[in-house]
Amino acid sequence: EACQARVNTTNNLGWTKPLAKGKVTSYFANRVSPITGKAEFHSGTDIGGNAEGTSVYAIASGIVGKIVRKASCGGNQVYVWHTINGKRYTTCYMHLLTINVSLGTKVTVNTVVGTVGGGKGTRGWETCSTGAHLHLGLGTGWYGQTYTSYSTWRSNLLSAKDVMKLPNSWSSRY
């Protein structure tokens, strides 16, 4: 419960964009996989238009609740717990070249959680990316505390376009 008190961001102003500029290249929706060519459900929003190594920011204040390193699909991943207007959310940042935070780190919208990967820099371990981009996931509950299974995480996901009002492209985080 001490963790909950630390994460309760009652002064959280809401969502900001994770990159200084970007273009949505794949939405949270059914799609044809660029890897397999088969129909699949895409569990997040892919944002392109940035080189590997570009800073990725937390989209709201919170605390780092989970870190995954060098997964064969998703690469380096950071999961951040947020409380916005009394509701719990987890955001995830996938295909990262680097992870710049640690488990338990308090973050703000100015915190660089990692850097864009998914291209040449991550090909040694990651097989589910076709080029440099950020995969942004957004779900209800705190993944790693409210629930722990990946399938439950997927069943709690939401569309960043709908929740954050994320535009198709932008050139400023605010």
E-only strand ranges, 43-85: 45-48, 55-57, 62-71, 75-84
Three-state DSSP class for 65? strand
User: What is the Cα–Cα distance from 116 to 22, expressed in whole angstroms?
Assistant: 11
- CA 76, distance to chain mean position in Å, is 11
- Quick one: what percent of the chain has pLDDT higher than 90? 65
Q: How many CB atoms lie within 10 A of CB 56?
A: 28
Residue 136's closest CA among 98, 52, 80, 70?
A: 80
| Residue 27: band (very low, low, confident or very high) from pLDDT cuts 50, 70, 90 | confident
pLDDT of residue 8: 45
Are 101 and 121 a contacting pair, CB within 8 Å?
no
| Residue 61: band (very low, low, confident or very high) from pLDDT cuts 50, 70, 90 | very high
Q: Give yes or no for residue 9 having a pLDDT over 80.
A: no
User: What is the Cα–Cα distance from 76 to 93, expressed in whole angstroms?
Assistant: 8
User: What is the Cα–Cα distance from 94 to 77, expressed in whole angstroms?
Assistant: 5
pTM above 0.75, yes or no: yes
User: What is the Cα–Cα distance from 69 to 29, expressed in whole angstroms?
Assistant: 26
Average pLDDT over residues 125-149: 91
| Phi, psi (rounded to 5 degrees) for 150 | -65, -35
More confident residue, 86 or 32: 86
